[in-house]
Amino acid sequence: MMLETSLDARSPRLRYTRWLRLAEPWFYLSPGLLLIALFIFVPMAIGISYAFQSMNLLNDG
């Protein structure tokens, strides 16, 4: 009896359903996390790239 339950716990279908149950919240969170990354990391990368450039934003004419 014990051997059968340990073999069932390792079946591919049960592993797949367990993985799906653990991954489902991340599927719902991923669009929001991508938008947060887009609006935070892209401007940060642009700002860092501007920091290493020699620009004069206030031209004297």
Q: What is the pLDDT of residue 3?
A: 52
pLDDT in tens, the chain (61 residues): 455 555 555 688 888 888 889 999 999 999 999 999 999 999 999 999 988 888 777 776 5
Cα 56 to Cα 17: distance, rounded to the nearest angstrom = 58
| Cα-based distances in Å from 24 to 15, 18, 34, 49 | 14, 10, 16, 36
Tell me the whole-structure pTM to 2 decimals. 0.52
What is residue 1's DSSP assignment?
-
DSSP assignments along 20-37, one per residue: HHHHHHHHHHHHHHHHHH
Residues 54, 49, 43, CA angle at the centre, nearest 5°?
130
d(CA 49, CA 31): 26
